[in-house]
A and B are shown apart, each in its own frame.
Chain A
Amino acid sequence: MEKIHQITETYFAEDRKDGVDKVTGKATFSAEHRLDNMAYAVFVCSTIAKGAIKNMLLSEAKRASGVLDIIYHLNCPAVPGFNPYAKDPNKKGYEWRGLKVFNNNQVYSNGQPIAMVIADTLERAVYAASLVKAEYVKDEFDTDFEKSKTDEKKLKKPGEYKRGDVDAYKKGEVIVEEEYTIPMETHNPMELHATIAVWDGDDKLTVYDKSQGPKGVQRDLAQNFGIDEKNVRVITEYVGGAFGSALRSWPHVPAACIAAKKLKRPVKLILTREQMFTMVGYRPHAWQKIGISANKEGKLTGITHHAVSNTSTYEDFGEGIVNVSQFLYACPNVNTNYRLLPLDVNTPTWMRGPGPATGCFALESALDELSYKLKIDPIELRLINHTDVNPVNKLPWSTKFLKECYAMGKEKIGWQNRPTVAGSLKEDGMLVGYGMAGGVFGAGRGQASAKGILRNNGTLVLQSAVSDMGPGTSTAMVKIGAQLMGIPQSKVSFELGDTDLPNGPTQGGSGSTAAIGTAITVVCDALKQSLKELAIATVAAFANLKPDALKYENGIISVAENASVNILYTDLLAQANKPEIEVVKDSARASAEAQKYAMNSFSVHFVKLHVHPVTGVIKLKQIVSTADAGKIIAENTARSQMIGGAVGGIGMALTEEVFTDNRYGRYTNANFSDYHVPVNADTPPIDVLFVDKADIIISPTGAKGIGEIALVGVAPAIANAVYNATGKRIRQLPITPDKLL
């Protein structure tokens, strides 16, 4: 880390950098790159949950018009990274951790890709794929989470934590002990996952891929196909949402590359909406049991938090569901236990707010239940148990402005109108409920690199090989760059989405702004240093001065002690006969800081809603989301992230659930008609309030992170409001109308 300096000025809200491209249809998403001689690949998927493919019936499909090839396990060219140990008995090779597509005849889940038809047009590929049939040897399978969640023989990987006495809550003065369940929920970004692959010879690969981390895809593909990373270029210009589903490469990514290599022509593979349910992860089904106790004054005396979530049989995916109970509130006795249940389904993955989104539903609901038993206001209960030191590692938080969140939100939602007795308030014939709940997510600063190119025409180009799935990374980076260099935002651009650019982090865990923003900060410092050195070398008036004796401000290099000796950087570049200067810099991970401080972003969400007294239909009236997300870099896009998280939380609370028919091990609502993501009419006015105080320990940008805390805590806030309105506690999401009858 070089010199850290805080960005203090408030940025004024300005429009998104890529706004015009997005409103005119010019933004190019992965499936939209136009290449000559493109072929279309379409997956054929398994129709059983577990077993082996006995026979593939291909003759009909082969004869269909336009079919170029059908690839499946018996004719699939070897992918070195799928079977690295074939020539490596010491097992040192890289092994692809995901489903090895077309690698063998095994079926691990329903909807798994088992063949791929490639044809000259999309329609012909789709039709021919419908003609491919498989004969199977079926195995017994289990997809039934509810039935197997307590089956000790099946559960694995206990992750345990304990401080103080185990199950202390049982001896508490006031006790809540309840179970909470969330169903499988899917990311389902609007853009379908898609990959276009094109090979140049046998060892040079270009891929247009929907990804939150182009560098990760590059690494995966290089290792899979046994070629140099520098020979793999991944382009991810625009990402149509992802929310975690594009944090890793799924089977379609290598599959498109396999097809393009075999056919020696560009191949485009787009998943269908149905395949978005069976191939690119989801938030796992989770069961939780919380026991929580307090003394009569509301001081927590014990928390026991157990959780089970599902994974697949071929990969373990776990997330920090129970962690929130360990550190969010002061409590002397806490024990947690988290286990995985492997089922014959596809692998889950991180979905917006992974871990805490699930964990906070249980913890924040349980606290609400406790507040009624204690007859203490739920905000007051949280304040009583507030802690400024993380109880797990005993470190102070780098910044924690949670109390400010409570205060702001309480006022905005009109908390004083909340009935203290559930089900007692009516308005326009409707039951009225208010609810609140907190959210949290880890903050930090990852490693990142960036390049800065300062040109003599007055423009600054910043670059990093990251992608922007929607939060507005470019906009934030432009604001940081413009601020640091003292030049107008209109002259600054941020280029991303190409692995040829300097190494950037994967966009996930709300870490982009802190990580890349720090790299941009370092780059800008280096640019200023270069300008000073250039001034000394070029301009007579600066000759013999040390760089430290110069200062840079608003594009002007001057003598620190005599501002009248100065030169504009564009003039300097012209005088030096340099069209541009360029620097590439790395910024480091916040490892040292993490030894001294606990780091988190915090949110508190407030909800007002109506429940129809006869039909039980819920109508959200208002959401107020407050956040301690550090310094807000770009207010407009930050606010949008918070609103989006709230809408995601509405889906989690009220509408979203993947249904499985456990007799067939198959999802029954893998489409946008039956899997209900919220629509406009579900969404009330949403107010967003930021504490907006910089955390310069985490990064010089002052930013912590927004994306996850925007959603974490929304679902319990809604569930708590439903209870407040009706007196009915729903512990099994989503709260559909039938549950309130």
Chain B
Amino acid sequence: MINFEYIRTSTTKAAIDAKAKNAAAAFIAGGTNLIDLMKKGVTAPERLIDINGLPLKEITADAKGIMIGALALNSEVAENPIILSKYPLLAMALNAGASAQLRNMATVGGNIMQRTRCSYFYDITMPCNKREPNSGCAALQGQNRMHAVFGTSEKCIAVHPSDMCVALAALDASVHISGPKGERKMLFTDFHRLPGDTPELDNNLSTGPGGQKGELITAIHIPTNAFNKSHYLKIRDRASYAFALLSVAVALEISGSSIKNARLAMGGVAHKPWRLPAVEKFLIGKEATKENFTTAANMAMETATGFGRNDFKIKMGKAAIAEALQQAAQKI
């Protein structure tokens, strides 16, 4: 790994200023993804700004919802009593990701900012438009078993690897962001980008309307909801400690046997957590039956397109959505 400057900051302002001054600087919190990428030579910041001293660890709840500081650890969020009782989908998703050790290091902000695990992105000898714009996408016709079936472009078919983010997308969360000129917030589902012509951009931090250089995620807010049934289903190549082939986050409000409200998002299928609004709309007002779940699942995968080795995800997606809905509905 190339050497770099390392500075510790104790205020959000100092951290943001330090980053705004140097385009090749990076924030570091847990470091579980960034250090890995630096070791592989995928990224090489000139300056690391350690933000672990910033006061962004708190989790506070009120009637409107819950605010999770960006530096809260994945493990702390997953074990938080309010999260467990009111937002169990998030806890399930968090616990489905990585390992106990990594969840003790990784922060909520870092989890959102983690980069794709596409093996061509990680191997600096291979073409990859995300790592090196206009070098080509080796995954398109390569080993793309793990890759996207929704929202792809000819430039990139990588997926966002997070489990947590799939739950946040389903739960209508928003991202709180600070920059040199002030704060802004964004719907979580607007935060990550599709690859389009600029796959090098994972998300809208420091870009888009109101974006500023040096922006930092400070918190995540999840609004209070009435979902009384939820489930996170993850299918992977081994029973634990593996990225998703695909995953499904389901949150339902069921009264009697009828679905009052529904949220559905998928992981491992797109460059961002993939919300399925049309399917949610279909489910709302329907009975919670196997038939409706199957119809919803088929509807969800209608627009999916495989690239050869990941064609199975279309069939698997249908099975997983139907099963996740069923599992959620069966919960007491």
Contacts and interface: CB of A to CB of B under 8 A. Distances in A.
Interface of A: 47, 123, 126-127, 130, 612, 614-617, 619, 654-655, 659-661, 663-664, 666, 668-669, 673-674, 676, 678-682, 736-738, 741
A27 to B, nearest CB: 22
B226 to A, nearest CB: 28
Given A737-B235, A738-B312, A680 B245 contact: no
Contacts of A660: 143
Given A666-B123, A741-B312, A654 B142 contact: no
A147 to B, nearest CB: 15
B241 interface: yes
Interface stretch (B46-54, B108-116, B271-279, B318-326): B318-326
Nearest to B320: A615
B119 A668 contact: yes
A676 B316 CA distance: 20
Contacts of A661: 126, 138, 142-143
B245 A738 contact: yes
16 contacts: A47-B125, A614-B322, A614-B323, A615-B319, A615-B320, A664-B126, A668-B123, A668-B142, A674-B119, A676-B237, A680-B240, A682-B240, A736-B237, A737-B245, A738-B245, A741-B315
Given A130-B41, A666-B123, A679-B238, A737 B316 contact: yes
Nearest to B315: A741
Contacts of A654: 238
A619 B41 CA distance: 38
B321 to A, nearest CB: 10
B143 A668 contact: yes
Contact of B242 (A126, A676, A741): A676
Interface in B129-177: 138, 141-143, 145-146
A-B CB proximity, top 3 nearest:
A681-B239, A738-B312, A681-B240
B117 interface: yes
Contact of A737 (B120, B126, B237): B237
A614 B238 contact: no
Contacts of B237: 655, 676, 736-737
Contacts of A617: 235
B2 interface: yes
Contact of B240 (A659, A673, A679, A738): A679
Query: Chain A: interface secondary structure?
Result: loop
B24 interface: no
B1 interface: yes
Given A126-B1, A614-B322, A615-B323, A738 B316 contact: yes
A667 to B, nearest CB: 9
Contacts of A126: 1
A736 B126 CA distance: 26
A678 B126 CA distance: 28
A221 to B, nearest CB: 31
B223 to A, nearest CB: 31
B1 A123 contact: yes
B96 to A, nearest CB: 11
Interface residues of B, number: 36
Contacts of B1: 123, 126-127, 130
A57 B109 CA distance: 40
A674 B143 CA distance: 12
B303 interface: no
A674 B242 CA distance: 8
Contacts of B323: 612, 614-615
B101 interface: no
Interface of B: 1-3, 41, 117, 119-120, 123, 125-126, 138, 141-143, 145-146, 233, 235-243, 245, 312-313, 315-316, 319-320, 322-323, 326
Contacts of A666: 123, 125-126
Contacts, number: 88
A619 B236 CA distance: 12
Given A614-B323, A661-B126, A738-B316, 11 more contacts: A123-B1, A615-B235, A615-B320, A617-B235, A655-B237, A666-B123, A668-B120, A676-B242, A682-B239, A738-B145, A741-B315
Nearest to A683: B239
Contacts of A663: 138, 141-142
A669 B119 contact: yes
Contacts of B146: 674
Given A659-B143, A666-B125, A737-B237, A673 B319 contact: no
B143 A615 contact: no
A682 B242 CA distance: 12
B316 A615 contact: yes
A120 B326 CA distance: 60
Nearest to B138: A661
A105 B315 CA distance: 48
A126 B236 CA distance: 33
Most buried by B among A130, A654, A680: A130
A519 B111 CA distance: 57
B239 A679 contact: yes
A136 to B, nearest CB: 12
Nearest to A619: B239
A666 B122 CA distance: 13
Contacts of B241: 679, 681
A678 B142 contact: no
Nearest to B314: A741
Nearest to B118: A668
Contacts of B316: 615-616, 737-738, 741
A674 B243 CA distance: 8
B306 to A, nearest CB: 11
A127 B2 contact: yes
A607 to B, nearest CB: 15
A615 B234 CA distance: 10
Contacts of A679: 238-241
A593 B126 CA distance: 56
A113 to B, nearest CB: 15
Contacts of A736: 237
Nearest to A674: B119
Given A661-B142, A741-B315, A676 B238 contact: yes
Contacts of A659: 119, 143, 145
A614 B325 CA distance: 12
Nearest to B233: A615
A540 to B, nearest CB: 69
A593 to B, nearest CB: 43
Contacts of A615: 233, 235, 316, 319-320, 323
B326 to A, nearest CB: 8
Contacts of A127: 1-3
A305 B138 CA distance: 38
Most buried by A among B145, B233, B237: B237
A738 B117 CA distance: 19
B313 to A, nearest CB: 8
Contacts of B117: 673-674
A35 B240 CA distance: 40
A679 B100 CA distance: 13
Nearest to A48: B125
Contacts of B119: 659, 668-669, 674
A738 B235 CA distance: 10
Most buried by B among A680, A681, A738: A738
